[in-house]
Amino acid sequence: MSSTWRRLAAAIVVSGLLAVSPAPAAAADPVPDVDGPVPGSVPGDPLAGDVADTYPFFSTPVDLAARGYVEEEFYLSGAADGWTTDGVQVATDVPYTTRIVVRRPANPKRFNGTALVEWQNVTAGYDLDALWNADSVTRAGYAWIGVSAQRVGVDHLRTWSPARYGHLDVTGGGAHTADELSYDIFAQAGEAVAMQGADSPMGGLEVRNLLAIGASQSASRMTVYYDNVLPRTRPVFDGFGFIVGSAPARAGAEPVFQVLSETDVRTARRPADTDRFRRWEVAGAAHSGYQGQVYRAPISERDLGGAPQYDCDRPPFSRIPMHHVTAAAYHHLARWTEHGTPPPLAEPLAFEADGVTKKRDALGLALGGIRLSQLAVPTALNTGDNSGESFCFLFGTHEPFDEQTLSRLYPNRGSYVSAVRKVDRANVRSGYLLPADARSNRP
């Protein structure tokens, strides 16, 4: 667990440079016991009486073997401290057992040294690997680890497959049902990922760089951890990625990268970029856009019996590829934590004088922000706004232009293709888009 930022964070806390409460003595064994890989893989029967006949919930349908990757699931058991959202310690050494899912290179030579540890999102009532992106993760050689830290997700797992998950508990036997243990469980999962030796869940991979990532509700939980719990405990993660959600107000030693869709930016008031904080805002992107819906639909059919359907006020699911910007953000965050190279700055979204109304062009597209070619060279109205039932307000909109509008914007196909490539090249140079994703944009 040798890491520049973890050593720096520890030194700052010890020397008293941060205005926080003194850190308590570290637990005797903060690394949980690791059991696995758990047998069973797709296809299987979640309700089978034998664990070997089951499989991990929301196991990826991507052919990982063809990409030189494996997916494995492990049980983690340990003793966690409990914390309120205000950073008040309310329990110590509470037993827990949860699970993590590891997707990693099969060959250690393919591993780039960085582990992306995601706090699984439970807004829908079950664990969701909201930030898993098979293309960017496997292409770059990351390891991705999903952590089940919260009661709602674990309770659903227990019901979904009693054989596989019936023994999991993150509440101390029902004594702590407000996720008081979640912060320490997440941190201990990070300790387990960074661990070396035969008991490591990483299959012999040497993790040099440990990044915590979370989307939406999970970003909010990580914000509490960073602001109110981390100053009172030992540092574990080298850097933090807060995606489509809140970010810490505290200035800590570990770099913080916040990436927001158009949906998430509601006011012109925003924190300033610093040498420890970056914020990117993506024009036209939605909090939960098209790409995620397409990926999760067959998994929902398999594991939930059907994919949710929505009746929104406007055609839903922006097709601005937010995941391309997130992939670039991981690349910069890894360089930031390993080499001290801060990410590039990005122009924010533009607002009217009232500070709450976004500026838009004649086509209705947001102005300012990171402008991917799908927005800067548009063939449809993509926005971050929508309304209607359930989660519609998070989906944005996608309304294709009619032929008359397309003919006016692009007299011929060549003019359109040329414009797309020009914007993509500019975004690659600016650091907002990785070259491989730019190639995938080519018309």
pLDDT at 41: 85
Question: Token digits for 425?
Answer: 């090249």
pLDDT at 49: 87
**Domain extent listing, the chain:** 1-22+32-254, 263-443
What is the distance between the alpha carbons of residues 51 and 202, in angstroms, rounded to a whole number? Answer: 21
Q: Residue 19: is it exposed, middle or buried by C-beta count within 10 angstroms (0-12/13-18/19+)?
A: exposed
**CA 133 to each of CA 43, 62, 220: distance values in angstroms, whole numbers, following the listed order:** 22, 10, 21
- By residue count, the chain amounts to 443
- What is the torsional sign of CA 256, 261, 263, 265? positive
Cα–Cα dist 412/245, whole Å: 40
Which residue is associated with the tokens 């140079």?
A: 429
Pairing state between β 239-243 and 256-261: parallel
Q: Which two tokens stand for residue 156?
A: 């659903």
pLDDT at residue 383, as a whole number: 98
Contact between 7 and 15 (Cβ < 8 Å): no
From first to last of its 443 residues, what are the pLDDT tens digits of the chain? 334 444 344 333 333 333 333 444 444 357 899 999 999 987 888 988 899 999 999 999 999 999 999 999 999 999 999 999 999 999 999 999 999 999 999 999 999 999 999 999 999 999 999 999 999 999 999 999 999 999 999 999 999 999 999 999 999 999 999 999 999 999 999 999 999 888 899 999 999 999 999 999 999 999 999 999 999 999 999 999 999 999 999 999 999 999 999 999 999 999 999 999 999 999 999 999 999 999 999 999 999 999 989 999 999 999 999 999 999 999 999 999 999 999 999 999 999 999 999 999 999 999 999 999 999 999 999 999 999 999 999 999 999 999 999 999 999 999 999 999 999 999 999 999 999 999 999 88
CB 181 within 8 A of CB 87: no
